[in-house]
């Protein structure tokens, strides 16, 4: 009889353990933010740079928080850190249950839209100094002219090339698209892969299309098609698609590009099996500071701006690119004012430290005279200063479902499964359907 | 102890934890996903009840039916490959030299995680530097295929690692079943003058037919809900050429934020899996008279 009671008790305890175990994690995080221990104002922050995988960014944020707490002894900043993908998932779950942290990280435009529409993010127009940011970056985080997050990172996309391969075939850096085609042809004729492209990821091919669209029809052509003041069947966009088809037919891109991920494609460039690679400036550490890449290879790599198209409206100083992540303040936050103050401070400090410490180009204007930066960074930052326009990645501008249509069409265009006309028509229909 | 076990209350108490877990982790989510399928929901904002609209869209969705067809193709391929596994296990079980080592070699893919297998085969299929094309070039082939980038063959290219991946699992099952065939039956057949092929087909196979049926069911259902290698190797691309039901569901729900529609797809997948399970068990029932 004793035994029976004991086993019953044991199983009850086991069950209790399971049930209570499920609750424990939520109960600790659900206590209200606001005044707590020692009368300090607690600001909760979530970010996506774990110490293990993004040490440089982690350290910058950590230092900034310490400095801020020192300057404001009545404030306690508590961070929760997750990896990129988990962060994306968790933020969705938290917003569904109205438990967003006071300060957090978001992506621009299409990703942010549902949060803003659902009244999750606080407008930040009262803490923004417009001239602090590089032109165009704040717009990506604005809805109806009001910024809902402050951008931290900025990337533009130059064409990286292997100087040694260029030299071997007596090639010059192309300034015009015709010169560019000659470079491609010479390389292809000599059995060298001219361009590596990981178009399984699709946004990679989209950047090629975006540049051609920009150089042929100016930045308005694509932007207007997306914001619905124009049409995707604009002759300039169809022309850009035709140029893509021509490039593919010339054998400009690496074999099997539609099955290669961006990382695999990058391997061809890093192993000097391909001469050119169009990618954003987040690749810069690989060609400058990264200890994992040999200096010999780094010396071989240069970059050039996407060439101009003869008779086209686009300018060589117009770039495809955009801000990466930005900081938001939760609309539901009980310490909104404190959180806003902290965000403004963080963005400013981040701008001072991120290039030198992490090789990340901030969205704020950088002073290149101080600090010992690699020449490639100085060049890129100068180019940024002279940029006439920055076109945000098309798939980021669009809503998730239209972006999917766009990206699929890009893959089909590159793969020859659609014609330039159909390519434009399908996207026009998708955009029109969402109006 | 016997007394304890005959007490209904204690039985209920003992099964309760497991029952609760199954309910919370399996049955309730299934019911919920059927319910979410009735909603217009982006996973962030508020849910809006839209009745059967998602399910009606689902029935008319060409992409869904293409993905379903791809899943069925995989089911057919993996069922046919069961014969291959069976042949291998027959050889392994027949006391040949080195069968122990061979068995371990066949088991290796089972020990690797799906993502590792996917990475491995992506390297093999690399159009320029990959092993597959290097081999074809060595044989003198000029226009080597681009494998995962070619919509016409991408799906079949993925079937190869899938079939390789599960070889160990099924060979292990068959091997165990074949080892359970009593020696005296085989001895008797030998005395009656049966050759090894006759023994395999007329004695061993009928005796393990029960196991074989189970594996058909496993292969069919496993293929219909298959996800991992496809997701990592092509992500369903190029352009949906290798999309299967599960990868399509993931894409709709998590990439496009259509949680309502994604749930409807999930529910559709469940219904199709159940129908196929019923059908397979019906089809394989006919020769149930051979009992071990």
Query: How is A239-305 classified by DSSP, letter by letter?
Result: HHHHHHHHHHHTT-BPTTGGG--HHHHHHHHHTTSEEEEE--GGGHHHHTT-TTS-HHHHHHEEEEP
Closest-CA residue of chain A to B21: A18
Residue-level pLDDT at B72: 95
How close B218 comes to chain A (CA, Å)?
A: 30
Q: Are residues A102 and A80 in the same domain?
A: yes
- In tens, the pLDDT along A142-191 reads 888 889 999 888 888 999 999 999 999 999 999 999 999 999 999 999 99
Neighbours of B210 (CB within 10 A): 15
Q: Are residues A185 and A331 in the same domain?
A: no
Residues of A in contact with B256 (CB under 8 A): 400-401, 404
- In tens, the pLDDT along B105-120 reads 888 888 899 999 999 9
- In tens, the pLDDT along A340-373 reads 999 999 988 888 888 887 778 888 877 766 667 7
Q: Is residue A27 part of a domain?
A: no
Helix (H) or strand (E) holding A398: none
Tell whether the model's pLDDT for residue A206 goes beyond 50: yes
Q: Is residue A25 part of a domain?
A: no
Segments making up each domain of chain B, as ranges: 58-285
Domain around A343: 34-154+323-366
Q: What is the average pLDDT across B79-98?
A: 89
How close B259 comes to chain A (CA, Å)?
A: 12
The torsion angle over the Cα atoms of residues B226, B232, B238 and B243, rounded to 10 degrees, is: 20
Q: Are residues A287 and A171 in the same domain?
A: yes
Residues of B in contact with A11 (CB under 8 A): 13-14, 16-17
A393, A385 Cβ separation under 8 angstroms: no
Residues of B in contact with A96 (CB under 8 A): 43-44
Q: Is residue A425 part of a domain?
A: yes
Q: Are residues A291 and A172 in the same domain?
A: yes
Q: What is the CATH number of the domain that holds A103?
A: 3.40.190.10
Tell whether the model's pLDDT for residue A22 goes beyond 80: no
Residue-level pLDDT at A20: 43
Q: Is A197 helix (H, G, I), strand (E, B) or coil?
A: coil
Q: Is residue A374 part of a domain?
A: no
Instruction: Give CA separation, A199 vs A255, A270, A278, A302, B118, in Å.
Output: 11, 17, 12, 23, 18
Q: Is residue A117 part of a domain?
A: yes
**Confidence band, pLDDT 50/70/90 cuts, at residue A432:** very high
* Class level of CATH domain B58-285: mainly alpha
Identify from A197, A256, A422 which residue to disrupt to test chain B contact, counting B C-beta atoms within 10 A and taking the largest count: A256
Q: Greatest CA span in chain A, whole angstroms?
A: 96
Residue-level pLDDT at A17: 44
A156, A281 Cβ separation under 8 angstroms: yes
Q: Are residues A195 and A218 in the same domain?
A: yes
B148 and A255 within 8 Å at the Cβ level: the answer is no
Instruction: Give CA separation, A262 vs A13, A203, B86, B265, in Å.
Output: 51, 9, 40, 29
Mind spelling out the 3-state secondary structure of B16-47?
HHHHHHHHHHHHHHHHHHHHHCCEECCCCCCC
Minimum-distance CB partner of A114 among B45, B146, B251: B45
Residues of B in contact with A408 (CB under 8 A): 239-240
Q: Are residues A49 and A138 in the same domain?
A: yes
Minimum-distance CB partner of A8 among B10, B46, B151: B10
At B113, list the tokens: 């995680």
- In tens, the pLDDT along A46-72 reads 998 888 777 778 888 999 999 999 988
Residues of A in contact with B32 (CB under 8 A): none
Q: Which DSSP symbol is given to A149?
A: S
Minimum-distance CB partner of B44 among A11, A118, A257: A118
How close A225 comes to chain B (CA, Å)?
A: 21
Q: Are residues A145 and A265 in the same domain?
A: no
Residue-level pLDDT at A8: 52
Instruction: At A161, give phi and psi (nearest 5°).
Output: -140, 160
Q: Are residues A347 and A426 in the same domain?
A: no
Minimum-distance CB partner of B44 among A4, A11, A96: A96
H helices of chain B, where?
A: 2-6, 8-22, 28-36, 53-60, 62-93, 99-111, 114-125, 131-138, 154-179, 183-191, 196-198, 205-207, 209-224, 228-233, 245-250, 259-285
User: What is the tally of structural domains in chain A?
Assistant: 2
Q: Are residues A311 and A194 in the same domain?
A: yes
Residues of B in contact with A106 (CB under 8 A): none
Residue-level pLDDT at B286: 59
Q: Are residues A45 and A184 in the same domain?
A: no
Residues of A in contact with B126 (CB under 8 A): 256, 260, 264
Instruction: At A395, give phi and psi (nearest 5°).
Output: -70, -20
Minimum-distance CB partner of A400 among B20, B126, B255: B255
In this predicted structure, which of A86-90, A317-321, B267-271 has the lowest mean pLDDT?
A86-90
Decide which of A366, A391, A422 is a domain's last residue.
A366
Tell whether the model's pLDDT for residue B155 goes beyond 80: yes
Q: Which residue has the higher pLDDT, B94 or A410?
A: A410
Closest-CA residue of chain A to B236: A200
Tell whether the model's pLDDT for residue A18 goes beyond 60: no
Interface contacts (A, B; CB < 8 Å)? 104
At A210, list the tokens: 């975006």
Report d(CA A67, CA A165) in Å as an integer. Answer: 48
Q: Are residues A426 and A306 in the same domain?
A: yes
A256 and B126 within 8 Å at the Cβ level: the answer is yes
pTM of the model: 0.81
Q: Is A423 helix (H, G, I), strand (E, B) or coil?
A: helix
- In tens, the pLDDT along B200-227 reads 888 888 889 889 989 999 999 999 989 9
């Amino acid at each position: 009889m004793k035994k029976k009671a004991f086993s019953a008790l044991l199983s009850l305890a086991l069950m209790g353990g399971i049930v209570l175990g499920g609750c424990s994690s939520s109960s600790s995080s659900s206590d209200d933010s606001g005044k707590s221990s020692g009368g300090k104002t607690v600001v909760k922050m979530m970010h996506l740079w774990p110490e293990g995988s993004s040490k440089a960014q982690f350290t910058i944020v950590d230092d900034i928080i310490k400095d801020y707490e020192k300057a404001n002894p009545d404030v306690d900043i508590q961070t929760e850190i997750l990896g990129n993908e988990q962060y994306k998932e968790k933020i969705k779950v938290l917003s569904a249950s109205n438990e967003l942290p006071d300060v957090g990280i978001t992506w621009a435009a299409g990703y942010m839209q549902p949060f803003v529409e659902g009244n999750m993010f606080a407008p930040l127009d009262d803490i923004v100094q417009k001239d602090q940011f590089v032109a165009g970056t704040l717009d990506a985080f604005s809805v109806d002219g009001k910024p809902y997050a402050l951008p931290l990172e900025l990337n533009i996309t130059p064409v990286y090339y292997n100087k040694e391969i260029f030299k071997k075939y007596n090639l010059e850096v192309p300034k015009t698209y015709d010169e560019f085609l000659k470079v491609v042809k010479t390389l292809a004729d000599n059995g060298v892969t001219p361009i590596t492209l990981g178009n399984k990821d699709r946004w990679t091919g989209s950047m090629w299309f975006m540049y051609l669209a920009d150089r042929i029809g100016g930045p308005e052509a694509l932007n207007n098609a997306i914001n619905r003041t124009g049409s995707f069947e604009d002759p300039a966009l169809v022309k850009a698609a035709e140029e893509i088809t021509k490039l593919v037919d010339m054998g400009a891109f690496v074999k099997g590009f539609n099955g290669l991920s961006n990382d695999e494609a990058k391997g061809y460039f890093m192993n000097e099996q391909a001469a050119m690679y169009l990618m954003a400036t987040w690749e810069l550490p690989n060609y400058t500071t990264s200890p994992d890449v040999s200096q010999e290879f780094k010396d071989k790599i240069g970059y050039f701006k996407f060439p101009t198209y003869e008779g086209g409206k686009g300018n060589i100083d117009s770039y495809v690119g955009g801000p990466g992540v930005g900081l938001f303040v939760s609309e539901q936050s009980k310490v909104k004012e404190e959180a806003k103050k902290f965000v403004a401070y963080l963005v400013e400090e981040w701008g001072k430290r991120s290039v030198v410490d992490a090789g990340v180009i901030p969205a704020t204007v950088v002073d290149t005279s101080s600090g010992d930066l690699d020449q490639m960074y100085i060049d890129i930052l100068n180019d940024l200063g002279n940029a006439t326009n920055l076109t945000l990645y098309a798939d980021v501008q669009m809503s998730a479902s239209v972006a999917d249509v766009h990206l699929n069409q890009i893959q089909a265009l590159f793969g020859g499964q659609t014609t330039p006309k159909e390519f434009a028509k399908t996207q026009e229909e998708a955009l029109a359907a969402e109006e | 102890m016997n007394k304890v076990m005959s007490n209904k209350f204690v039985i209920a108490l003992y099964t309760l934890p497991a029952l609760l877990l199954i309910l919370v982790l399996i049955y309730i989510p299934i019911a919920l996903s059927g319910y979410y399928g009735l909603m217009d929901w982006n996973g962030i904002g508020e849910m809006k009840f839209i009745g059967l609209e998602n399910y009606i869209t689902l029935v008319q969705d060409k992409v869904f039916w293409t993905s379903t067809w791809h899943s069925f193709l995989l089911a057919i391929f993996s069922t046919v490959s069961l014969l291959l596994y069976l042949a291998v296990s027959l050889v392994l079980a027949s006391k040949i030299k080195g069968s122990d080592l061979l068995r371990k070699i066949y088991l290796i893919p089972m020990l690797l995680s799906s993502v590792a297998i996917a990475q491995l085969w992506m390297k093999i299929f690399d159009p320029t530097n990959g092993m597959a094309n290097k081999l074809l070039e060595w044989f003198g082939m000029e226009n080597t295929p681009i494998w995962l980038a070619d919509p016409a063959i991408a799906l079949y290219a993925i079937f190869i690692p899938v079939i390789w991946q599960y070889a160990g699992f099924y060979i292990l099952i068959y091997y165990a079943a074949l080892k359970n065939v009593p020696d005296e039956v085989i001895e008797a057949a030998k005395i009656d003058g049966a050759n090894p092929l006759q023994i395999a087909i007329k004695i061993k196979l009928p005796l393990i037919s029960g196991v074989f049926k189970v594996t058909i069911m496993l292969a069919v259902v496993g293929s219909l809900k298959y996800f991992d290698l496809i997701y990592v190797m092509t992500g369903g691309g190029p352009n949906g050429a290798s999309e299967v039901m599960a990868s399509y569901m993931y894409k709709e729900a998590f990439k496009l934020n259509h949680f309502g529609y994604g749930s409807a797809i999930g529910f559709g997948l469940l219904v199709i899996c159940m129908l196929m399970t019923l059908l397979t068990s019906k089809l394989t029932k006919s020769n149930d008279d051979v009992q071990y």
